[in-house]
Structure 1
């Protein structure tokens, strides 16, 4: 069974206490300059660039916790760090019985420069509008909504490229042993399962502080 954690304001204090008392010592042993609850993946390479943190969100469009994190948690982080944070989603399906259409649409939209817009439209359609099956008619509405040409989009969607990108992302998630969604990967090798914004802010700020200390 795939575990999923719900984050909300009422749990922030408890989670932070857990981070410091239960996990922080282990994390600090892996990388002393970082703070918060995280896991260093020794077999993965760091992708860190000074002054910027890359956040990869492994998420399922059909997961309600992913919807909330993407709409609320990510907004908090983007407001806090601005252009110092580079965020992208990687599709990682955990809800059984769902077609991969949403994931393929997101990958195709990314290649056409509208990945974030399509991501938001898909989350809203599935969770707010309660549309579980994205057929061709719904697809066209969403394609036009984000400002893309339906014919060009469908041509790209029919190719093998979006499906391959989706499968590559899923294999990446398998490799780093994603066990719940959303799971966050910072700078290629810092895995975070406690995805409440306060924990993520603590980790990200400590990464940026480390850059400043090196100057």
Structure 2
């Protein structure tokens, strides 16, 4: 069963139990010799790599404190290190049982309206900094929707359409297909899964991908 990992950006605290559950050694490297770091190449997934750029998908749960920390600290460090050579997108992957899916639906709706990143930050802040972990009722949603610069009426119509919930179901199926065991888990260029979410390892993997491009 999926669970939250103990992610430590600076402390590099790694939950190796999930790696062992996958039958993968924490020190495994890809078959591609020029790539470095600790990761797993998913043979059944297609690479989406474009030379000179890395696309990073973060499977995350809005209720996960480690996901919040990765989003607030880790993503900023990666963008500072790689600039426009990295593109980061979050994919909702609920792992905490008994929690309402409202934040995930709000994020998906905001993405369709071009404000996904803004809504993601607001939701993480609301849940983890302001400690609003109960129901995100319509009045509270309206405040958050306006904060990110969206029209509440159009937003709520989108929420009621069922499309955000459907998008979340697709994200869950994606995560289950690639056997996401903990959050946050990172998928690079469609087929490189990284569970050791610490700065040195992620930078090593990404640098090696970009360095390999230069040799081609």
Do the two structures share a fold, i.e. TM-score over 0.5? yes
Q: Which residue of 1 aligns with 2:20?
A: none
Alignment partner of 2:181: what SS?
Answer: coil
Moved over 6 A (4+): none
Q: Which residue of 2 aligns with 1:170?
A: 172
1:201 corresponds, among 193, 196, 203, to: 203
State the alpha-carbon separation in 1 of the partners of residues 9 and 190 from structure 2.
26
Alignment partner of 1:58: what SS?
Answer: strand
1:183 corresponds, among 182, 185, 188, to: 185
Which 5+ residue runs of structure 1 have no aligned equivalent? Answer: 16-21
Distance 1:168 1:10, change over 3 A: closer
Q: Which residue of 1 aligns with 2:21?
A: none
CA-atom RMSD, angstroms? 1.5
Q: Which residue of 1 aligns with 2:115?
A: 114
Shift of residue 3 of structure 1? 4.8
1:4-55 deviations in whole A, cap 9, x for unaligned? Answer: 132142448xx9xxxxxx755x314x11111000000000000001111000
Q: Which residue of 2 aligns with 1:62?
A: 63
Q: Which residue of 1 aligns with 2:33?
A: 32
State the alpha-carbon separation in 2 of the partners of residues 188 and 139 from structure 1.
33
Alignment partner of 1:87: what SS?
Answer: strand
Count of aligned pairs between the two proteins: 204
State the alpha-carbon separation in 2 of the partners of residues 23 and 68 from structure 1.
22
**Counting helix residues as a fraction of each chain, which structure ranks higher?**
1
> Any residues of structure 2 matched to 1:39-50 within 5 Å, and which?
39-50=40-51
Q: Which residue of 2 aligns with 1:128?
A: 129
State the alpha-carbon separation in 2 of the partners of residues 164 and 46 from structure 1.
25
